[in-house]
């Protein structure tokens, strides 16, 4: 009996899951339906083609989509760039081409009983069908039956902050940082709200206009910007992390132990980035051992510091940001926005510098929201997520970090049950694992899920044949 696995979203996660199912397929006859609401597979927002040559934040030697072939991406890159090195930071659009190539090769090598169907459409809702099947409703193609459904949806848009609600539709406010004009001139000024990796992308995008770079200001709570990458040994720090894990009930003690470890590594001539990588691999265990009160404490007091050390910039991008700062075209600020006041075609930004009680203001030609994705399900505007939440198919965690999931990414319903046919893989796994945004972590989740889906397809086919 034929089985159908529907994968919703064809960015990194959806593409990798589909490729894995093709390379290590179920024994049963299986249709893999990969649905993408955009115009290209394998890209998503992260690896879409842009006029601006955005580069990856991780060296080429650490970005393989196959854990059994660490240099797969590097070999692909060398077909176009023969001199590419494992420590090079290559373009994001090239990585999108690589993911599509991975999928194409897996499809060509797949056995005849496994078929990949590519669909460009938007999934709007799920429903229960006959014989325990799910029904996937698509905006244009209508309903489609599925035995298992994988939600491989990427990052949502930033939250609508309180200061933006009154200007949400003002022409100078841009809620989507990836959809902004590129015609600013030197006499213009732009405010980017947020100081993370998205801010860097936006600022460098604006700087592509040659000598017409506008004055760029930023505001974030702490005024911290991502640190630069270096060439370091990712596996230099060895061990089980016993001390860190035994301190897990207290984020203060975890922080103290982490600082001690960093000092020891640096005294031996190492790099603090080695320690961050070591902690990153322990993060799921640490996060799961922390009580909710300590998780909240981390999010309130330490997340900003973790983010700028964990999510780092390629050296070339860090150097360009530093050049913009020194030239006076980029001003980094720590503080809080109080309100945005329309002034014709401009916006006046009323804000308070961190540590000050006095408010101040300045006018800008554009305000760009780069505060990062909003993982709170109750605020996600995506129609599919709204439908899933309203129907009780999925449930949010208590800290608004994403979706509640169980083993293999099985979604947890509103009544607390593990869904046997609905799975999620993507950045909203951070609710249970914290580290769930980089290719390395997401690849591991994708591989685990693909193995489970293949086994479940065979088990389901066997059960159907026996009836």
Percentage of residues in the chain with pLDDT exceeding 90?
Answer: 77
Instruction: Give the torsion sign (CA, 408, 412, 416, 417).
Output: negative
Question: Which residues of the chain does CATH 3.50.50.60 include?
Answer: 3-156+374-466, 162-227+312-369
pLDDT at residue 274, rounded to an integer: 92
CA distances 417 to 20, 169, 231, 406, 433, Å, are 27, 40, 45, 9, 19
Spatial CA neighbour of 345 closest among 189, 153, 114: 189
Compute and round to an integer the Cα radius of gyration of the chain.
Answer: 23
Q: What is the pLDDT of residues 321-380, one digit of tens each?
A: 999 999 999 999 999 999 999 999 999 999 999 999 999 999 999 999 999 999 998 888
Structure-block tokens of residue 367: 């305000």
pLDDT at residue 43, rounded to an integer: 67
Q: What is the pLDDT of residues 115-165, one digit of tens each?
A: 999 999 999 999 998 878 999 999 999 999 999 999 999 888 898 999 999
User: Cα-flanking dihedrals φ and ψ of residue 353, to 5°?
Assistant: -70, 145
pLDDT at residue 12, rounded to an integer: 94
Which of the pair, 422 or 466, is modelled with greater confidence? Answer: 422
Percentage of residues in the chain with pLDDT exceeding 70?
Answer: 95
CA distances 190 to 169, 185, 217, 343, 415, Å, are 17, 10, 6, 15, 46
Torsion of CA 431, 64, 278, 153, to 10 degrees: -10
Please check the confidence at residue 6 and state whether its pLDDT lies above 70.
Answer: yes
| Domain 162-227+312-369 fold | FAD/NAD(P)-binding domain (3.50.50)
Q: Quick one: average pLDDT of 269-283?
A: 92
Cα–Cα dist 191/347, whole Å: 10
3-156+374-466: CATH superfamily? FAD/NAD(P)-binding domain (3.50.50.60)
Q: How large is the angle between the packed helices 92-109 and 12-23, nearest 10 degrees?
A: 20
Structure-block tokens of residue 117: 């169907």
pLDDT at residue 220, rounded to an integer: 97
pLDDT classification of 467: cutoffs 50, 70, 90: very low
pLDDT classification of 53: cutoffs 50, 70, 90: low
Q: Quick one: average pLDDT of 280-302?
A: 94
> Long-range contacts of range 344-351, CB-CB < 8 Å, 24 or more positions apart?
345/171, 345/172, 346/172, 347/167, 347/170, 347/172, 347/173, 347/191, 349/191, 349/219, 351/219
Cα–Cα dist 94/56, whole Å: 9
């Amino acid at each position: 009996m034929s089985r159908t696995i529907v994968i919703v979203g064809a960015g990194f996660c959806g593409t990798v899951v589909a490729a894995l199912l093709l390379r290590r397929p179920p024994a049963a006859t299986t249709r893999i339906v990969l649905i993408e609401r955009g115009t290209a597979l394998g890209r998503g927002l992260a690896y879409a083609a842009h006029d601006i040559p955005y580069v990856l934040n991780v060296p080429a030697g650490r970005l393989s989509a196959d854990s059994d072939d660490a240099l797969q991406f590097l070999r692909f890159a060398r077909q176009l760039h023969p001199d590419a090195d494992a420590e090079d930071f290559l373009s994001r659009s090239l990585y999108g081409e690589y993911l599509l190539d991975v999928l194409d090769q897996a499809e060509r090598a797949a056995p005849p009983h496994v078929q990949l169907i590519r669909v460009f459409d938007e999934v709007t809702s799920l429903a229960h069908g006959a014989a325990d099947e799910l029904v996937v409703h698509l905006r244009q193609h209508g309903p489609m039956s599925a035995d298992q459904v994988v939600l491989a949806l990427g990052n949502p848009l930033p939250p609508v902050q309180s200061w933006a609600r009154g200007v949400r539709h003002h022409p100078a406010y841009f809620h989507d940082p990836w959809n902004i004009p590129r015609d600013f001139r030197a006499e213009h000024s732009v405010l980017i709200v947020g100081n993370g990796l998205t801010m860097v992308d936006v600022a460098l995008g604006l700087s592509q206009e040659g000598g017409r770079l506008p004055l760029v200001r930023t505001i974030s709570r702490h005024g911290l910007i991502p640190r630069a990458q270096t060439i370091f040994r990712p596996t230099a720090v060895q061990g089980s992390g016993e001390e860190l894990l035994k301190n897990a009930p207290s984020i203060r003690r975890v922080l103290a132990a982490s600082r001690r470890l960093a000092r020891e590594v640096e005294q031996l001539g190492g790099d603090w980035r080695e320690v961050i990588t070591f902690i990153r691999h322990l993060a799921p265990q640490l996060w799961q051992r922390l009580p909710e009160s300590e998780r909240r404490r981390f999010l309130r007091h330490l997340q900003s510091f973790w983010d700028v050390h964990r999510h780092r910039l390629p050296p070339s991008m860090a150097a360009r940001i530093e050049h913009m700062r020194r030239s006076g075209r980029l001003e980094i600020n720590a503080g809080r926005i109080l309100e945005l006041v329309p002034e014709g075609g401009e916006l006046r930004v009323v804000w308070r510098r961190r540590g000050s009680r006095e408010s101040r203001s300045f006018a800008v030609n554009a305000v760009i929201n780069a505060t990062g994705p909003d993982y709170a399900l109750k605020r996600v505007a995506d129609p599919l997520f709204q439908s899933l939440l309203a129907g009780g198919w999925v449930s949010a965690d208590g800290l608004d970090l994403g979706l509640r999931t169980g083993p293999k990414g099985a979604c947890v319903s509103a009544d607390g049950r593990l869904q046997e046919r609905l799975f999620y893989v993507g950045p909203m796994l951070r609710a249970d694992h914290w580290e769930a945004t980089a290719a390395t972590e997401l690849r591991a989740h994708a591989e685990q899920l693909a193995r489970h889906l293949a086994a479940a397809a065979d088990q389901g086919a066997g059960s159907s044949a026996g009836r």
